[in-house]
Amino acid sequence: MKIFCSKYLIFFIGLALLISCKKETQKTANNFSAFLGGTLNDTLYKHVFLLKNDKIIDTLPINNGVFGKKFDLLNAGLYALKINKDVYTVFIDKNDSLNIHLNKHPFQSTISFTGKGSEKNVFLKQLEDTLKMDCNFIYQKKRTAFKTSADSIRDNRRAYYLRKKTELGWSKDFDTYPQALIDYTYFSYLEQFTLISKDSLPNDYFSFRNKTDLNKNDLIYFNSYKNYFITFLDVQAKKSVFKNIEEKEILKLNILDSISKNESIKNHVSAKMMYDFFVGNPKNNSNEKLVNTFKRINTDTEQKKNIESVQIQIDRLKKTQQLPQIKLTTIDGNTVTSFKNSAPSIIFFWSVHNIPFYNKMMKYIKENTHKKIHYYAVNIDNTPNWKKYISTNDINVTYLQTTNFNEVADKWGVFNLNRFILLHPNGNIKDAFYHL
């Protein structure tokens, strides 16, 4: 009897061990360990939030600009790093040891990668940047000429993607994302064409929509995807007639609400729509029905606060004749307290991290000296090397610097570098949101 029981005991112990090993094998197959770390040039921030599908899954402390963590179990896929309001996408694969280096600057933050897994992330970032520049191509009014140009750009990007795929040999999990970036940029071209051309379209023109997914949660941090979504909404809204541009935005928000079942996508797309609308149309930011529609559709408290903050900053400047006081210094280190001039003046902003924009502005000023306008070129970088980019021979330009860009952004409503303030000769505001 004892021998019989012992045999059964040994059998059940062996069976338990077998099941345990099977579970552990499954666990190892589906998950993996990885290291994620990096550096940040701004020591102001204390935490990095790690997100998956728009949900915070971990918090990484930042100590003296350095963060990092070893993850024992982490699914392969696309993640997002959130620092304050900025979000950066990163793909983490099996056994990756990835270091991310962030240089945060107003309107011009940069990200670089080192370590195992860096090559595919570098490629994805380069592809995004290239596709962004591609969006500036000229839309021909004739469909055949347009289609030839759009197809050529898409085919060139696909060829680049296929070369890198062969070279780096990435996983199927990663392969989804470069394909999606290329496809949705191309689909945006096709949608946009219908907004600017009266050329007749074949019956199957919109067949590409069968390849789109308006509930793709893991693509919400890619501009290619969000831009396609917004362009699609523009095309849908084109079928209606509006009294004003606010009515159009309200309809687009309602269409978004009806076609997308994904809460995160509705939040991100609606927030981008409202931000682009208010910044692009600062004189039309007080439509109560539009704001209420956005608040009904968007469930993200932080995003709502961000949009409300944009509204407040715009309203503050619209209701005053005088610029709110901020600390600005001249080349000699003197503080500026007045913008009085014998002629009207224009304030514009520039950064050493976007010299092409600065050069463009200086070219414009030199070509328009006959307009008798004085210019205040405000550098927004907290760095002493800004002076090496300027010329003291520009008699109608006063060069200034702020070391506190957050103050400028908040008090003067500076949301991007393409921002101008027109002043009367007495220094009062003539147009707080001037279009140059």
- Report the pLDDT value the prediction gives residue 105, as an integer from 0 to 100: 80
Q: How confident is the model at residue 285 (pLDDT cuts 50, 70, 90)?
A: low
| N-to-C CA span, the chain | 98
pLDDT confidence of residue 183? 96
pLDDT digits (tens, 9 = 90+) for 250-260: 999 999 999 99
For residue range 409-423, what is the model confidence (pLDDT) as tens digits? 889 989 888 899 999
**Taking the alpha carbons of 7, 12, 15, 20 in that order, is the dihedral positive or negative?**
negative
Q: Is the pLDDT of residue 11 over 70?
A: no
Task: Name the token pair of 417.
Answer: 């570098």
pLDDT given for residue 207 in this prediction: 96
What the block records as the tokens of 307 is: 């949009």
Q: What is the pLDDT of residue 233?
A: 96
Averaged pLDDT for residues 95-117: 89
| pLDDT, the chain, mean | 87
CA distance 370 to 331: 26
Q: Which residues contact 188 (CB under 8 A, 6 or more apart)?
A: 135, 224, 227, 228, 231
pLDDT tier at 143, thresholds 50, 70, 90: confident
Query: What's the half-sphere exposure (Cβ side, CA atoms, 13 Å) at 194?
Result: 17
User: Is residue 16 over pLDDT 50?
Assistant: no
CA distance to 21, 33, 80, 90, per residue, from 87 (Å): 39, 23, 6, 10
- What are the CA-CA distances from residue 275 to residues 226, 321, 341 (Å)? 13, 25, 34
CB 269 within 8 A of CB 226: yes
User: Residue 2 pLDDT > 90, yes or no?
Assistant: no
Instruction: Give yes or no for residue 126 having a pLDDT over 70.
Output: yes
What integer is the mean pLDDT of 288-293? 92
Whole-prediction pTM: 0.83
Q: What is the CA angle 71-109-391, rounded to 5?
A: 155
282, exposed or middle or buried, with CB in 10 Å at 0-12, 13-18, 19+? buried
Q: Pick from 277, 231, 283, 302: which is nearest to 291 by CA?
A: 277
**pLDDT confidence band for 7 (50 / 70 / 90):** very low
| Cα–Cα distance for residue pair 282/184, rounded to 1 Å | 29
The candidate with the shortest Cα–Cα distance to 225, out of 198, 193, 253, 264, is 264
CA count, 13 A, side-chain hemisphere, 33: 3
Q: Would you place residue 321 in the very low, low, confident or very high pLDDT band (cuts 50, 70, 90)?
A: confident
**274 contacts 284 by C-beta, under 8 angstroms:** no
- Give per-residue pLDDT as tens, 381-398: 888 889 888 877 767 899
% the chain with pLDDT above 70:
90
The mean pLDDT of 164-186, rounded to a whole number, is 94
pLDDT in tens, 196-220: 888 888 999 999 999 999 999 889 9
Mean pLDDT across 125-137 = 82
